A and B are shown apart, each in its own frame.
Chain A
Amino acid sequence: MSNSQALTKSALWDWLTTVDHKKIGIMYLVAGAFFFALGGLEAMLIRIQLMFPESNFVSAQAFNELITMHGTTMIFLAAMPLLFGLMNFIVPLQIGARDVAFPFLNSLGFWLFLSGGILLNLSWFFGGAPDAGWTAYVPLSSAEYASTGLDYYVLGLQISGAGTLIGGINFLVTIITMRAPGMTMMKMPLFTWSSFVASALILFAFPALTVGLFLLMFERLFGANYFIVEAGGNVVIWQHLFWIFGHPEVYILVLPAFGIFSEVLSTFSKKRLFGYSAMVFATLIIGFLGFMVWAHHMFTVGMGPVANAIFAVATMAIAVPTGIKIFNWLLTIWGGRIKFTTANLFALGFIPSFVLGGVTGVMLATSAANYQFHDTYFVVAHFHYVIIGGVVFGLFAGTFYWWPKIFGYMLNETLGKWFFWLFLFGFHLTFFVQHFLGLMGMPRRVASYLDGQGLNDLNFISTIGAFFMAVAFILLLVNIFVSRNDKAVADPWDGRTLEWATPTPVPEYNFAQTPVARELDALWYEKMQGNKKMPVAEPLGDIHMPNGSILPVIMSIGLFIASFGFIYHTYWISVVGLGITLGCMVVRSVKEDHGYHIPVEEIQQDKEVG
Chain B
Amino acid sequence: MKQLGRLLPLSALLLLLAGCGEVNLSALDPQGPVAEMQLSLIKLSLYIMIIVIVVVFVIFAIALIRFREKPGDTHIPKQVEGSKTLEIIWTTIPVILLLILAIPNVMDTFTLANVEADENSITVNVTAHQFWWEFEYPDHDIVAGQDMYIPTNTKILVNLEASDVMHSFWVPALAGKQDNVPGITNEMWLEASHPGVYKGKCTELCGEGHWLMDFRVISVERDVFDKWATNMIGPEQEPASQLAETGREVFQASCIGCHAVGGVGGNPASGGPDLTNFGEREVIAGFLEFNEENLEKWLRYPAETKPGNKMPPFNHLNEDDMKALIEYMKGLKVLD
For residue A266, which residue of chain B has the nearest CB? B79
Contact status A374-B177, CB under 8 Å? yes
Contact status B106-A313, CB under 8 Å? yes
Quick check: is A221 within 8 A (CB to CB) of the other chain?
A: no
Contact status B6-A352, CB under 8 Å? yes
Footprint of B on A, CB under 8 Å?
Answer: 59-61, 64, 132-133, 137, 139-140, 145, 229, 233-236, 269-272, 274-278, 300-302, 304-305, 308-309, 312-313, 316-317, 319-320, 323-324, 326-328, 330-331, 333-340, 348, 351-352, 355-356, 359-360, 362-363, 366-376, 428, 432, 435-436, 439-441, 443-450, 452-455, 528
Contact status B38-A368, CB under 8 Å? yes
Contact status B105-A59, CB under 8 Å? no
For residue B105, which residue of chain A has the nearest CB? A366
Residues of B close to A374: CB separation below 8 A: 168, 176-177, 203
Contact status B91-A324, CB under 8 Å? yes
Residues of A close to B160: CB separation below 8 A: 302
Contact status B37-A275, CB under 8 Å? no
| Chain B binding surface, main DSSP class | mixed
Contact status B79-A139, CB under 8 Å? no
Contact status B77-A271, CB under 8 Å? yes
Whole-angstrom distance from the CB of A373 to the nearest CB of chain B?
A: 8
Contact status B201-A316, CB under 8 Å? no
List the count of A-B residue pairs having beta carbons below 8 Å apart: 293
Find A274's partner among B27, B80, B186 (CB 8 Å cutoff).
Answer: B80
Task: Kindly list the 6 A-B residue pairs having the minimum CB-CB distance in the complex, ordered from nearest.
Answer: A371-B176, A440-B21, A229-B183, A368-B108, A275-B82, A359-B49
Given contact pairs A145-B165, A278-B82, A440 touches B91 in the complex (Cβ within 8 A): no
Quick check: is B117 within 8 A (CB to CB) of the other chain?
A: no
A-B contact pairs, 7 of them (CB 8 A): A60-B308, A145-B164, A271-B80, A275-B83, A302-B187, A338-B69, A439-B28
For residue A139, which residue of chain B has the nearest CB? B165
Contact status B307-A60, CB under 8 Å? yes
Given pairs A316-B101, A445-B205, A454-B20, 17 additional interface contacts (CB within 8 A): A64-B207, A229-B183, A236-B184, A278-B82, A330-B63, A331-B82, A334-B67, A340-B68, A356-B53, A362-B45, A366-B105, A368-B112, A369-B105, A369-B176, A373-B176, A440-B22, A443-B203
Find A302's partner among B27, B38, B176, B179 (CB 8 Å cutoff).
Answer: B179
Residues of B close to A337: CB separation below 8 A: 67, 69, 73, 75-77
Contact status A327-B69, CB under 8 Å? no
Whole-angstrom distance from the CB of B49 to the nearest CB of chain A?
A: 4
Contact status B45-A436, CB under 8 Å? no
Contact status B60-A351, CB under 8 Å? yes
Contact status A59-B307, CB under 8 Å? yes
Given contact pairs A140-B207, A436-B16, A371 touches B112 in the complex (Cβ within 8 A): yes
Interface size on B, residues (CB 8 A): 93
Residues of B close to A440: CB separation below 8 A: 20-22, 25-28, 172
Q: Which of B208-216, B225-233, B250-258, B317-325 contacts A (4 or more CB under 8 A)?
A: B208-216
Contact status A278-B87, CB under 8 Å? yes
Contact status A333-B63, CB under 8 Å? yes
Contact status A448-B176, CB under 8 Å? no
Whole-angstrom distance from the CB of B70 to the nearest CB of chain A?
A: 8
For residue A375, which residue of chain B has the nearest CB? B203
Contact status B205-A324, CB under 8 Å? no
Beta-carbon contacts under 8 Å, B23-50 to A: 25-28, 35, 37-39, 41-42, 45-46, 48-49
In angstroms, Cα B109 to Cα A301, docked, is: 14
Contact status B67-A333, CB under 8 Å? yes
Whole-angstrom distance from the CB of B130 to the nearest CB of chain A?
A: 9
Residues of A close to B112: CB separation below 8 A: 305, 368, 371
Quick check: is B59 within 8 A (CB to CB) of the other chain?
A: yes
Whole-angstrom distance from the CB of A368 to the nearest CB of chain B?
A: 4
Whole-angstrom distance from the CB of B197 to the nearest CB of chain A?
A: 13
Residues of A close to B48: CB separation below 8 A: 362
Contact status A441-B201, CB under 8 Å? yes
In angstroms, Cα B115 to Cα A304, docked, is: 11
Interface string of B104-129 (1 = CB under 8 A from A): 01101111110000000000000000
For residue A432, which residue of chain B has the nearest CB? B9
Contact status A441-B77, CB under 8 Å? no
Whole-angstrom distance from the CB of A56 to the nearest CB of chain B?
A: 11
Beta-carbon contacts under 8 Å, B65-111 to A: 67-69, 73, 75-83, 86-87, 90-91, 94-95, 98, 101-102, 105-106, 108-111
Contact status A368-B81, CB under 8 Å? no
In angstroms, Cα B166 to Cα A331, docked, is: 47
Residues of A close to B217: CB separation below 8 A: none
Find B109's partner among A278, A312, A356 (CB 8 Å cutoff).
Answer: A312
Residues of A close to B326: CB separation below 8 A: none
For residue A320, which residue of chain B has the nearest CB? B94
Contact status A302-B168, CB under 8 Å? no
Whole-angstrom distance from the CB of B166 to the nearest CB of chain A?
A: 6
Interface string of B228-269 (1 = CB under 8 A from A): 000000000000000000000000000000000000000000
Quick check: is B1 within 8 A (CB to CB) of the other chain?
A: no
Given contact pairs A320-B91, A440-B28, A366 touches B101 in the complex (Cβ within 8 A): yes
In angstroms, Cα B287 to Cα A269, docked, is: 57
Find A305's partner among B13, B37, B109, B181 (CB 8 Å cutoff).
Answer: B109
Whole-angstrom distance from the CB of A314 to the nearest CB of chain B?
A: 10
Quick check: is B271 within 8 A (CB to CB) of the other chain?
A: no
Quick check: is B156 within 8 A (CB to CB) of the other chain?
A: no
Contact status B26-A60, CB under 8 Å? no
Quick check: is B335 within 8 A (CB to CB) of the other chain?
A: no
For residue B28, which residue of chain A has the nearest CB? A439
Contact status A372-B42, CB under 8 Å? yes
Quick check: is B196 within 8 A (CB to CB) of the other chain?
A: no
Find A446's partner among B98, B210, B308 (CB 8 Å cutoff).
Answer: B210
Residues of A close to B75: CB separation below 8 A: 337
Contact status A355-B69, CB under 8 Å? no
Quick check: is B150 within 8 A (CB to CB) of the other chain?
A: no
Contact status B205-A320, CB under 8 Å? no
Whole-angstrom distance from the CB of B104 to the nearest CB of chain A?
A: 8
Most buried by A among B20, B179, B187: B179
Contact status A428-B81, CB under 8 Å? no
In angstroms, Cα B170 to Cα A362, docked, is: 22
Quick check: is B206 within 8 A (CB to CB) of the other chain?
A: yes
Find B90's partner among A313, A324, A362 (CB 8 Å cutoff).
Answer: A324
In angstroms, Cα B102 to Cα A269, docked, is: 37
Find B9's partner among A428, A448, A449, A455 (CB 8 Å cutoff).
Answer: A428
Find A319's partner among B79, B86, B94, B110 (CB 8 Å cutoff).
Answer: B94
Beta-carbon contacts under 8 Å, B152-176 to A: 160, 164-166, 168, 170, 172, 175-176
Given contact pairs A352-B6, A371-B176, A301 touches B77 in the complex (Cβ within 8 A): no
Given contact pairs A355-B52, A440-B22, A372 touches B98 in the complex (Cβ within 8 A): no
Given contact pairs A320-B91, A335-B67, A236 touches B211 in the complex (Cβ within 8 A): no
In angstroms, Cα B57 to Cα A359, docked, is: 13
Contact status A270-B77, CB under 8 Å? yes
In angstroms, Cα B87 to Cα A328, docked, is: 8
Residues of A close to B59: CB separation below 8 A: 327, 330, 334
Quick check: is B182 within 8 A (CB to CB) of the other chain?
A: yes
Find B27's partner among A59, A272, A305, A439 (CB 8 Å cutoff).
Answer: A439
Residues of B close to A444: CB separation below 8 A: 203, 205
In angstroms, Cα B183 to Cα A59, docked, is: 31
Contact status B110-A309, CB under 8 Å? yes
Whole-angstrom distance from the CB of B14 to the nearest CB of chain A?
A: 12
Residues of A close to B35: CB separation below 8 A: 372
In angstroms, Cα B141 to Cα A63, docked, is: 40
In angstroms, Cα B102 to Cα A234, docked, is: 31
Contact status B57-A443, CB under 8 Å? no
Residues of B close to A312: CB separation below 8 A: 102, 105-106, 109
Find B113's partner among A304, A328, A373, A439 (CB 8 Å cutoff).
Answer: A304
Contact status A300-B67, CB under 8 Å? no
Find A330's partner among B45, B56, B73 (CB 8 Å cutoff).
Answer: B56
In angstroms, Cα B94 to Cα A372, docked, is: 24
Contact status B211-A60, CB under 8 Å? yes
Contact status A443-B45, CB under 8 Å? no
For residue B208, which residue of chain A has the nearest CB? A60
